Structure 1
């Protein structure tokens, strides 16, 4: 379960992404107003880190896949992956990172792929006193694995590489490929797929031995 608050975030998440995205090697499209296409969340079992996957685009340009984590303190040595900081009206100052650099996101992603799970249910604390309201998902995600599958330990990140429209993360014994833009293709054996509206299913990320 992902617990959300009715709050203002300054600057907004879209503003942070808009200032960061054009500097990525995998960015495509003209500058302009950035729009959110869809989003979903994973749950951090420890309840400490917010994990949100955002799909965004400029106008009719390609959709970009931007997983984010929200933390209450900086990750040592990860400044290069920091989008910026924001003030959350309920939670205070938040450090916003590219999920590719955050072991908590990578663990949630690998877990969803291997165990065949998907997005977390989202509940909004509507009054600050624990009254929860379920929020309908903006998109769905599904792993191709088997329920109860064992996830290899997500240990120290060894290397992060950008290859065209993909970010490849070497972490522990895993090689996690995050598709930043989407192309047609068969679904890999160990993957996370996503769907929103009437858009065909896309491959968000997968595990690779290559």
Structure 2
């Protein structure tokens, strides 16, 4: 469960993302970034915010996972996107979540166990807020996750690869919104191939592969 505070952010998330995108090797520099939607994972410790944004620019769709922390993440300075002032939580350090071990574990868990996005509750409200991007893993693991380690992510033309020790995680950066990755998105327990996280948002005809697991 993710708690959303009624807060003012300075700079905004989209402003941070807009400043981050042009320096990425997978970004095609055409047009200004616009937010399509987002989904969240839960940090069981309740310390790290995990929010993945889908943005569009120049007709292309991009996936930007962010982690929000109340302190600096040791050894992750190269993946610091910026800091923001949160009117409720104070100063927040915003990272490319692919370098954050909390995100790596949450992503792997979603793929392997067939989880979806975290439910979002606005602080003080009792009904969950609908997610603007819905996701579902294709795995069926019922038990403990394999041991995971975190290493520096490596980004290429359209993906980021994270060596997690037991396996590698492939995070799609440029999203193919035309491919039908499953015959039935609701039947994610019957994967069409690799272990993956699939997602969709309003106006999308078919689910899109957002991430997958590769052999180590």
TM-score, normalising length: structure 2: 0.89
1:188–1:74: structure 2 CA closer, same or farther, 3 Å change rule?
farther
Distance (whole Å) between structure 1 residues aligned to residue 126 and residue 20 of structure 2: 33
* 2:11 alignment counterpart: 11
1:6–1:141: structure 2 CA closer, same or farther, 3 Å change rule?
same
2:174 is paired with a residue of what secondary structure? coil
* 2:196 alignment counterpart: 191
CA deviation string 1:159-204 (max 9, x = no partner): 4211210100112222000000123375542100001113121000
1:39–1:139: structure 2 CA closer, same or farther, 3 Å change rule?
same
Indicate yes or no: 2:204 matched with 1:206: no
Indicate yes or no: 2:146 matched with 1:152: yes
1:79–1:140: structure 2 CA closer, same or farther, 3 Å change rule?
same
In the TM superposition, 1:16-165 aligns within 5 A as 16-32=16-32, 34-58=33-57, 60-126=58-124, 131-146=125-140, 148-157=142-151, 159-165=152-158
Distance (whole Å) between structure 1 residues aligned to residue 80 and residue 43 of structure 2: 19
- Pick the aligned partner of 1:168 from 161, 170, 192: 161
CA deviation string 1:77-99 (max 9, x = no partner): 11110110000000000000011
Distance (whole Å) between structure 2 residues aligned to residue 132 and residue 8 of structure 1: 21
Contact 2:149–2:163 under 8 Å retained in 1: no
CA deviation string 1:13-41 (max 9, x = no partner): 00001001100000013243x21111110
Unpaired runs of 5+ in structure 1?
Answer: none
Indicate yes or no: 2:187 matched with 1:181: no
1:100 is paired with a residue of what secondary structure? helix
Distance (whole Å) between structure 2 residues aligned to residue 93 and residue 11 of structure 1: 11
RMSD of aligned residue pairs (Cα, Å): 1.6
Count of paired positions: 203
Task: Please report how far the alpha carbon of residue 53 of structure 1 lies from its aligned counterpart in structure 2 after TM superposition.
Answer: 0.7
